[in-house]
Structure 1
Amino acid sequence: MSADKVFHSRSEGIPSEGVKDQYADGKAARVWKKYIGDSNQRTQNYKDFLTGLLRKHNCVKVLDVACGTGIDSMMLVDEGFKVVSVDASDKMLKHALKARWEKRKDPRYDEWVIEEASWETLPRDVQSFMPGATFDAVICLGNSFAHLLDEYEDQRTQKMCLENFAKVLKPGGLLFIDHRNYDAMIDSGATPGHSIYYNCKYPVDIKTSVLVVGGKPELVALDYCIGATADGEISERSEFRLCYYPHKLDKFTVMLDEAFGNKAQHSIYADFKPLDQVENPAYYIHVMQKPL
C-alpha cells in the first residue's frame, strides 16, 4: 500500500499500543484546553440543561467519567455539586489537577476528587479510592465515549463500559452520555459545524474523514485545525487528529437500553432540545434513569 493510502489513526507522538489515550503526546491536550476554553465559556444552553436535570432529580454526587481538563467538573463544582472526576489520560488530568490547585482558596474545591481510572475497570477503580461509593449521576459528555474504538468488531468493550457506568449509579440515578451525529457524517462526509458545548473564540476548521471497511463505517477521524490569533494567544496554526467510533443513533440507543437491562427510562435529546425539534443536530444526548 502506498504511503498516501495509509490511514493514520493517531496523532504524532501517541504510543503504538493503542488509541485509548489520544492526548498522550501532550500537544493535543494543551491545544484542546485552548479550544474548549474554561467553565465560563460553556454555553448557557448546556449549563442549564445539565444542572437543571440534575437538580430536578435531586442529584448531588456526580461522577464525571471523562473529565479531561476538568472544565465540566469545575462548572458543576461552582454550581454546588459534589464532583468526582476521572479520566484515562494522565496528560489531560494534569490540567485538571492544576486547575484545582489554582482554586485552592475556594473551599468548594477542597472536596473535588480527581483520579485516574479506566472505563473498562471503572467500578474497581472507583472502589480503590472511594470504597463503597455510588453516585446520583454519571456524566460522559463532549463525544468522549466515541474515543473508545471497536477493536473486536462486536462492540463488546463498549457494552462492558456502559454496564460499568450503570453499576456505579445509585438506583434512580442518571447517566448523561452523548455522541456526535455520526449518521449525518456518514451520509454527507461532513461534521455539523455548530458547537453546543462551548463558545470557542478561535478560528477552527474540522476536516472529516470516514473509514469504511467491507461496506461498514469503522472509524471517523476529525482533523482539528486551530488558526493563530491576532492577540498572539495561539502563536501558530495548531493541528491534531482525534479518531472516533461512529455510533449510529439507533444502534447506540439499543446498546444503552441493554446496558441497563432494558429497564431504564431513556430520554434522547438533540442539541439539548426535544428530538423532534432539531432537523440536523450536532449531538445526540441520552439520559438514562436507572430503575429503582
Structure 2
Amino acid sequence: MTADHRSGLRGPASTVQEFGDAPTEVRESAHYKHEYVQTFVDKWDELIDWRARYASEGRFFVDQLRTRGVTSVLDVATGTGFHSVRLLEEGFETVVSADGSAEMLAKAFDNGMKFGGHVLRVVQADWRWLNRDVHGEYDAIICLGNSFTHLFSERDRRRALAEFYAMLSHDGVLILDQRNYDAILDNGFSSTHRYYYCGDDVVAEPEYVDDGLARFRYRFPDGSQYHLNMFPLRKDYTRRLMHEVGFQRVDTYGDFQSTYADDEPDFFVHIAEKAYLDQEDAE
C-alpha cells in the first residue's frame, strides 16, 4: 500500500463524537465509526503505551501462534497496529491488518513505518462481511483490544465468528480477547492497568453499565475525554458462541494465565481451535 493509498483512507477529519441526546441508548454495532474520531485515534497510543504493552504481555501471543505452526495471520481489529507490527517484527511471513475505522488504519500504517519501517497490508473491512473485503485463507485470526464487544446483537456476533471461521485454514486458530465484564457487572469496576491500557495518567473507566451496555470514558492528561459504547460480554457466553459456530476447543486465559479466579483478571483471552477433535479429545 502506498502513501497515496494510505492517505485516501481518511475522509474529512472528525473531532467530535456523535452520541445524540441519549448516549446510553446508543447500542448499534456500526456506531464505532462515529466514536473513533480523528482526535481520539491520535491519542490512542497514549492509552496503550506500546513500550509498556510490549513488556506486559511478553511473548504470550507470539508463543501461542508459534506452537501451532502459524505463518499467516489476519489481524481483524488492528487499531493503531500494535500487534501487526509486533508479529512482523517477530518474523511471521504474512500479516494482514484489517479494521473498520479508516482513521485507525491510517494511523496503523504510519506506525508500521515508524516502528521498524514495515509497510502494513491494510484493509478496511466490516467483520460481518469479512470474506467480501479480505481475501485468502489464514493460519490464525486475532481479534484483540476488547474489539469484539463493539458488536451489540447476537446475530452480528454469530455472523462475525462465522466469517472468522470460514477464513481459517482447516487447523486454524482464532485468538479473541475481552474485558472481564463478569466482574464489572457482578462486583463493580476495578483495574490494575498492568496488561492492556498501560498509559500513564490516562484514565479508562466505565461511566455507565447495565446488562446491555458498558459505556467507558477515556480521560487524557490534557483534559480531553472520549467515550466508547460496548456490549458487556460474559466469558461463558463468548465461549458458547465460539463452540456453536464450530470451533472444536476453546481455552480461556485470565490476564495471560491459565489458572485464575474469575473475578481477578482485567481481561480474558479465548483461544479457539478449528481442528476437528475426536470425542475422547473433546471431553
Quick check: TM above 0.5?
yes
Structure-2 residue corresponding to 1:174: 173
In the other structure, the counterpart of 1:149 is 152
CA–CA distance in structure 1, aligned partners of residues 249 and 229 of structure 2: 30
Task: Pick the aligned partner of 2:104 from 89, 92, 96.
Answer: 92
What does residue 233 of structure 1 align with? none
Q: Residue deviations 1:65-88, cap 9 Å, x none?
A: 000111111011111112100000
CA offsets, 1:153-194, max 9 Å, x none?
xx1111110111111111111100011010111123324343
Structure 2: runs of 5+ lacking an equivalent: 1-20, 277-283
Match of 1:53 in 2: 64
1:116 equivalenced with 2:124 (yes/no) = yes
Does the CA contact (< 8 Å) of 1:20 and 1:148 recur in 2?
no
Aligned to 1:36: 48
Query: CA 1:265 to 1:135, structure 2 compared with 1: closer, same or farther past 3 Å?
Result: same
Q: Give SS of 2:23's match.
A: coil
C-alpha offsets along residues 208-262 of structure 1, whole Å, 9 cap, x if unaligned?
Answer: 13443xxxx11001111122xxxxxxxx2221111110001121111111112xx
AA at the equivalent of 1:8: P
Secondary structure in 1 matching 2:271: strand
Deviations 1:136-169 (A, max 9, x none): 110001101111222xxxx111111011111111
Alignment deviations for residues 10-65 of structure 1 (CA, whole Å, 9 cap, x no partner): 99xxxx99513254421211111221133x33243523110011111111111000
Choose the corresponding residue for 2:201, options 200, 203, 209. 203
Residues 23/49 of structure 1: CA separation in 2 closer, same or farther (3 Å cut): same
> Residues 103, 278 of structure 1: CA spacing in aligned structure 2 closer, same or farther, 3 A cutoff?
same
- Identity across matched positions, percent: 30
Distance in structure 2 (CA, Å) of the matches to 1:286 and 1:48: 16
- TM-score scaled by length of structure 2: 0.82
Matches of 2:34 and 2:177, distance apart in 1: 19
1:125-136 matches, within 5 Å, as: 125-127=133-135, 133-136=136-139
2:201 and 2:220 in contact (8 A); partners too: yes
Aligned to 1:232: none
Partners of 1:7 and 1:181 in 2: how far apart? 26
CA contact (8 A) 1:43 1:198 kept: no
Residues 190 and 207 in structure 1, CA contact (< 8 A), matched pair in contact too: yes
How many residues in Structure 1 have an aligned counterpart in Structure 2?
254
2:142 paired residue number: 139
Q: Secondary structure at the match of 2:85?
A: helix
Query: In the alignment, does 2:196 pair up with 1:185?
Result: no
Alignment partners' CA distance in 2, 1:100 and 1:271? 26
User: What do residues 235-290 of structure 1 show as CA deviations (whole Å, max 9, x unaligned)?
Assistant: x2221111110001121111111112xx5121110000014367511011100111
**Please, what TM-score do these two structures have when normalized by structure 1?**
0.80
Q: Would the alpha carbon gap of residues 204 and 88 (structure 1) be closer, same or farther in structure 2, given more than 3 Å must change? A: same
Partner Cα separation in structure 1 for residue 223 and residue 61 of structure 2: 33
- Counterpart pick for 2:82 among 58, 62, 71: 71
The answer on whether the counterparts of 1:149 and 1:244 sit within 8 Å (CA) in structure 2 is yes
- Separation in 2, partners of 1:17, 1:278: 27
- d(CA) in 1 for partners of 2:109 and 2:193? 30
| Residues 1:199 and 1:211: Cα distance change in structure 2 (over 3 Å) | closer
Does 2:213 correspond to 1:219? yes
The one-letter amino acid of 1:97's match is F
Structure 1: which 5+ runs fail to align? 1-5, 128-132, 228-235
Task: Identify the match of residue 276 of structure 1 among 246, 255, 260.
Answer: 260
Confirm or deny: 8 A CA contact 1:208 1:221 kept in the other structure.
yes
Moved over 6 A (4+): none
Contact preservation (8 Å) 2:182, 2:263: no
Residues 86 and 199 (structure 1), Cα distance of their counterparts in 2 relative to 1, 3 Å cut: same
The structure 2 residue matched to 1:285, chosen from 253, 257, 269, is 269
